[in-house]
Amino acid sequence: MTRMFGEPVTRVEDDRLLRGHGAYLDDLGHDALACAFVRSPHAHADVLDVDVTGALDVDGLVAIYTYEDLPGRLAEPLPLLIPHPALTHGRTQYALARGVVNHVGEPVVMVVARDRYLAEDAAERIIVTYRPLPAVVGIPAARAAEHLVHPDVPGNVAANLVQAVGDVESALAGAAHLLELDLSIERSASTPMEGRGVLARWDPESHRLRMWTSTQTSTGVRAAVAAKLGLALVDVDVITPDVGGGFGVKIMHPWPEELLAPWAAMLLGRPVKFVEDRREHFISSAHERAQQHHVRVGFDNDGHVLGLDVRFWHDHGAYIPYGLIVPIITSTQLLGPYKPGAYRVEFDSLYTNTLMVTPYRGAGRPQGVFVMERTMDAIAAFLGLDRALVRERNFIRPDEMPYDHGLMFQDGRPLIYDSGDYPASLEKLKKLVGWDEFEHVRDAARADGRRVGIGLACYVEGTGVGPYEGGHVVVETTGKVKVATGLTTQGQGHQTVFAQIVADELGVPMADVEVVTGDTRRFGYAVGTFASRAAVMSGSAIALAARAARAKALKVAAEALEVDAGDLEIVDGIVRVVGSPGAAISLGTVAVLSNPLRYAFDDAAKAATQFAVGDVSKPPVAEDDEPGVEGRGFFSPMQSTFASGMHAVVVETDPDTAEIKILRYCVVHDCGRLINPRIVEGQIHGGVAQGVGGALYERMVYDEAGQLQNASFMDFLMPYVSEVPERVEIDHLETPSPLNPLGIKGAGEAGVIPGAAAIASAIQDAEGFAITAMPISPSDLFELRRRHERAARANGGSHERSTAE
Amino acid sequence: MTEEQLHDVRLTVNGAAHQVRVPARRLLSDCLRHDVRLTGTHVGCEHGVCGACTVLVDGTPARSCLILAVTADGLDITTVEGLTEADGSLSPVQQAFEDCHGLQCGFCTPGFLTTITAGLRRKPDPTEAEAREMIGGNLCRCTGYQNIVRSVLRAAEIARARGSGS
Amino acid sequence: MKVSGDAMLHAPVEKVWTALNDPAVLVRTIPGCERLEATGPDSYRMVVTAGVASIRGTYAGEVLLSERSAPHSFLMTASGAGAPGTVSTEVRVLLADVGDGSTRLTYDADAVVGGVVAGVGQRMLVGVARRMAGEFFSSVDDVLTGAAPVAAVAPGVTPEPGVFVAPPTAARPFGGDAFVRGALVGAAIALAGVLVGGLLGRRRR
């Protein structure tokens, strides 16, 4: 039988999705009432009055709710999901605004009506009277704190956190050279093609709530909903339907709408559905990425970093329900594959009157990598050294693994790299992109009047974060294998890769394996899909569950065949004696025999009934045993497992228009062993596209009044096919993880993490001056050119190492 | 009490007639999804940019989120559900996506499938540049487009092999 | 849930008091009132079909008038039940002479609501209640000013004593006896008949 693990198997999800038979949230619940919200048009305002009179005439109106209607725990602020000792001033929103609104888009009034058109009609006619307050927008305004977002949060600082290893000030003082850099990254967002949605059905007869939500964590939503609505956990089902992309934004929970829709369903005795539109996604889901950094780095003549001091400011918007995860990831993953001697990182997480910030693919790493990699380039430029060489000199060596940085990671555990071979990755990358020969490419281009540049960036990513995931595998009497895990899927092909794992572990054809994810009815203990953890966590758990099921099957079969379990193998769903073609029994039959029956429900089941089998000297089910061929497994690692990678980019910039074109995009990627290479490659492609978007196109533009000026696809620019490189050249390294049974590492976010850094590096190489802010548009580049030309003229000639004419 | 006037509209979708009664402002995308109950056409932005809602109207790709259902009376509409072959097998474009891993979450996919189906009818043997051009108006957030471009070329290949014009 | 408001009625206080106590006026002016039946010296039973959108339904209710201090104030206690839900309410009514032959009426209602329609939200309920009250007072005002006469019984219908039925068509001449009976029955029932709410520990205002 072919081994499935490592094979680029065609996805089992595809057939029905290609036929248009997907079941995304809005495809469900045609009988449900619809919701619309009146959302704040102001970034900061007191809510003085809500007048619903005008809405009463709308045909099909069912209900109108404001904060005053919320009972019990629903009237409390939404949960602060991830507390941290440094998060001294955490503030979260109310499900509906309570007297004050803190960002454009904050929900104030909820309308329920027969359909969405009518709900919006009613919402439009509701008059809310606001008293606008000064809005705090952008990091400089937040820091200056002339106005406060929350009156009881001084300086708009939710948290200040310092992590340090070694004595950075001495290291900097003693270093031969010192550089200071100011770097900034703009706000962007996950922007999946499908927005958020919730469908809730309340059954008063059984007193149970059933919800569907387009989420990355069905167990998280279930727990929050049960808590806020005063329901027992066993009375709440949360099912994740097909999800049209998440990219981080859908890990945030509970959205106000995720609480309000089920609450309304209970009140009204009708199913209630909320599906946001695109504008709502822009102004009321979540953003990420905005940070400003100040770096001081001390290094020697060879480019070894002796001391690194990073001070940064993180804009987390009006509320901070997800805690400090993003800036903590920035703080720790900034180090990448390097060992910088002494390191100190300090950040302030700041409130602004803008949409809240929760993780977006990369979750703080793109910012950290941008900072570290610009710093490396700056060091190389200063010393006149090759940029790859400077990095190579600072790498952690393979024989230094596991490497303890002495810092605490986002999972509350020590930052210890378990495996990785950075020098080998760099070698592969240099070869792939032709790093050493690029001089010739550049010269040839220059001769043609063209401007090209090459850049690179390295990153390390902590994947497979805990606390745990679980898996369940059961063999049914038909021989079919049903698998369940609690985390969710948003296009990563979990139904395929987990089936591959089970097919191998159990010895069954993939076609006989069916996988369900994200349904609390099928598996109730889970954390969620984020931090590139699903394959590591659920893959491992499912492998363990399958092994347990296999052991059980062999035990039952051994008894039936009267052989030793050690002499048996399972191939293509048949349990047989190794080397002996005759003695065999199908897994389905084994499942029948594993469950001693009184009642035969079909012909096959007769074999397990009490007069057919059984040893009267023993109980039908042994004391330490259970009926059935099932396995349940949980995987809970000591720490994350660290994937890594490096990207190299060749760009061309137009000397006149400053347009930026990507000529080549090369990726070397180490995510340990690959379950399905095609799916991993797809994840990299997608990540690279988001990296390109973040480097060149995507930014949320808030004006000083806190109005989001580009809250639509017309003005928030995401890459089409024309914006992505024509090829993404990928080479793999596989340093297996020692931390899980499959030896794998996460791959989901890899593509996006170093994108901005690598592209900035290449543009800098093409232009000859430093790129310190992303994204960079042609206009930005044009402006930068002018500024540098002016500066160069003012200084009587160029002083920067120039690679372009 | 507001009350909307309803209009009788006969839609021909994937060759079948559907009689619906809708207000004038009902979008074709909503009508297909909620009145005709063909949910394969997806809504990503409602302002005509993302292309997820693309259907074929008399064979030409059109954004169903920018069409009022009442104006589609008498027009011949093809949605993703209508792309499969008569015997139920996947069309060359659908098969190509499966072969090339051209979809991940699948939300944007119906819009690509209809667009490419029409595109290959006009240009059955595209170059890679032409393939990119063909899908240049559709957004995808998952795949980074690399495998979608491959899918276009593979679809042309499959169509040729099957001897049909797809 | 508390609802309060006021209205200007273009007639002297005594006339207003009389009108508000006349069942023939009430059955005609209470929004959606179909039937009004005296069940005692100070009480009525009525059937009202009223409401807005999902709140709309047919409610059977009882009204009791008390603490009367003619022609200026009284208290009305009412309760109603219908498919969409239930309500019980207390309404305090004050009539004040404005001086130019008009009367200023103020009402203060405290209601508790229950049932399926209970969950439509405070503001919607209050909004609907105020609207119905406004419609009621407006109709009463029309009757007082003669703009909308109260009809005699329709031909062919033999009314039971003490039962008043809403006319099937519009305006009819005013002519009923004035009963010194629960004023603002109509307003109270208007409030009562449409108000629902108060599940899950809703706060009372």
Place of tokens 């170059």: B127
Q: How far is CA B126 from the centre of its chain?
A: 19
Contact C120 A62 (CB under 8 A): yes
What pLDDT is stored for residue C156 in this prediction? 53
At residue C173, does pLDDT exceed 70?
no
Contact A72 C52 (CB under 8 A): no
- pTM, to two decimals: 0.91
Give C133's contacts in chain A (Cβ within 8 Å).
none
At residue A288, does pLDDT exceed 70?
yes
Are A501 and A624 members of one domain?
yes
Tell me what the mean pLDDT of segment A229-238 comes to.
97
Residue A448 lies in a domain: yes
Q: Tell me the shortest Cα–Cα distance from C64 to chain A, in angstroms.
A: 30
The string of pLDDT tens digits covering residues C139-159 is 999 999 887 766 555 555 555
Helices first, then strands: H and E counts in chain B: 5, 5
What pLDDT is stored for residue A597 in this prediction? 83
Nearest-CB residue to B144 (from A57, A679, A724): A724
Rounded to two decimals, the ipTM of the complex is 0.97
Place of tokens 């890990």: A251
Are A311 and A279 members of one domain?
no
Residue A805 lies in a domain: no
At residue C177, does pLDDT exceed 70?
no
Contact B98 A491 (CB under 8 A): no
Domains of chain B: 6-80 (3.10.20.30), 92-163 (1.10.150.120)
Place of tokens 């090829």: A727
Are A240 and A334 members of one domain?
no
Residue A324 lies in a domain: yes
Tell me what the mean pLDDT of segment A605-609 comes to.
82
What distance in Å separates the CA atoms of residue A716 and residue A738, rounded to the nearest whole number? 42
At residue A242, does pLDDT exceed 90?
yes
Q: Residues with Cβ < 8 Å from A601, sequence gap 6 or more?
A: none
Q: Tell me the shortest Cα–Cα distance from B87 to chain A, in angstroms.
A: 13
Tell me what the mean pLDDT of segment A58-63 comes to.
94
Determine what percent of chain A is predicted with pLDDT higher than 90: 87
What pLDDT is stored for residue A271 in this prediction? 98
Count of domains forming chain A: 3
CB A433 within 8 A of CB A606: no
Are A689 and A600 members of one domain?
no
Contact A69 C121 (CB under 8 A): yes
The string of pLDDT tens digits covering residues A481-501 is 999 999 999 999 999 999 999
pLDDT band at C57 (very low <50, low <70, confident <90, very high): confident
Residue A237's CATH number? 3.90.1170.50
Cβ neighbours of A252 (radius 10 Å) = 25
Domain boundaries, chain C: 2-199
More confident residue, A294 or C130: A294
Residue A158 lies in a domain: no
Least confident of A91-100, A728-737, C160-169: C160-169
Q: How far apart are the first and last CA of chain B?
A: 51
Query: DSSP string spanning A498-558?
Result: HHHHHIIIII--GGGEEEEESBTTT------S-TT-HIIIIIHHHHHHHHHHHHHHHHHHH
Nearest-CB residue to A193 (from B34, B52, B145): B52
Contact A59 B144 (CB under 8 A): no
What distance in Å separates the CA atoms of residue C124 and residue C112, rounded to the nearest whole number? 15
Q: How far is CA A339 from the centre of its chain?
A: 26
At residue A686, does pLDDT exceed 80?
yes
Nearest-CB residue to A267 (from C119, C128, C131): C119
Backbone angles phi, psi at A554, to 5 degrees: -65, -35
pLDDT band at A1 (very low <50, low <70, confident <90, very high): very low
Residue A110 lies in a domain: yes
Interfacial B residues in 120-139 facing A (CB < 8 Å): 128, 132, 135-139
Q: Tell me the shortest Cα–Cα distance from B38 to chain A, in angstroms.
A: 8
What pLDDT is stored for residue C168 in this prediction? 64
Residue A612's CATH number? 3.30.365.10
Closest among A136, A101, A89, A102 to A349, alpha carbons compared = A89
Last residue of one domain, picked from the residues A235, A267, A284 = A284
At residue A624, does pLDDT exceed 60?
yes
Are A206 and A333 members of one domain?
no
Are A272 and A204 members of one domain?
yes
What pLDDT is stored for residue C176 in this prediction? 30
Closest among A134, A536, A168, A559 to A352, alpha carbons compared = A134
What CATH code is assigned to C2-199? 3.30.530.20
What pLDDT is stored for residue A609 in this prediction? 83
Closest among A313, A317, A342, A324 to A93, alpha carbons compared = A317
Determine what percent of chain A is predicted with pLDDT higher than 70: 99
Measuring CA to CA, how many Å separate A441 from each of A453, A455, A759, B149, C96?
9, 13, 17, 28, 95
Tell me what the mean pLDDT of segment A405-427 comes to.
92
Closest among A730, A761, A752, A724 to A438, alpha carbons compared = A761
Contact B139 A714 (CB under 8 A): no
More confident residue, A42 or A604: A42
Neighbours of chain A (3+ CB pairs under 8 A): B, C
Last residue of one domain, picked from the residues A284, A316, A336 = A284
What pLDDT is stored for residue C169 in this prediction? 46
Determine what percent of chain C is predicted with pLDDT higher than 70: 73
Neighbours of chain B (3+ CB pairs under 8 A): A
Provide the pairing of β-strand C103-114 with A414-417. Answer: unpaired
Are A614 and A666 members of one domain?
no
What pLDDT is stored for residue A394 in this prediction? 98
What pLDDT is stored for residue C117 in this prediction? 72
Measuring CA to CA, how many Å separate A634 from each of A158, A469, A472, A493, A744?
35, 6, 9, 21, 16
Contact A687 B144 (CB under 8 A): yes
What pLDDT is stored for residue A797 in this prediction? 53
Tell me if chain C has a CB within 8 Å of the CB of A69.
Answer: yes
DSSP 3-state helix, strand, coil percentages of chain B (rounded to 5)?
Answer: 40, 15, 45
What pLDDT is stored for residue A353 in this prediction? 98
Q: Tell me the shortest Cα–Cα distance from A108 to chain C, in angstroms.
A: 13
Residue A651 lies in a domain: yes
Are A515 and A606 members of one domain?
yes
Are A508 and A522 members of one domain?
yes
Give C113's contacts in chain A (Cβ within 8 Å).
none
Last residue of one domain, picked from the residues A238, A267, A284 = A284
Residue-number span of the structural domain to which A74 is assigned: 27-133+190-284
Q: How far is CA C45 from the centre of its chain?
A: 12
Q: Over its length of 166 residues, how does chain B's per-residue pLDDT go in tens digits?
A: 778 999 999 999 999 999 999 999 999 999 999 999 999 999 999 999 999 999 999 999 999 999 999 999 999 999 999 999 999 999 999 999 999 999 999 999 999 999 999 999 999 999 999 999 999 999 999 999 999 999 999 999 999 999 854 4
Tell me what the mean pLDDT of segment A105-129 comes to.
97
At residue A596, does pLDDT exceed 90?
no
- Which residue of A lies nearest to B51 if distances are taken between CA atoms? A193
Contact A72 C200 (CB under 8 A): yes
At residue A637, does pLDDT exceed 50?
yes
Give A191's contacts in chain B (Cβ within 8 Å).
141
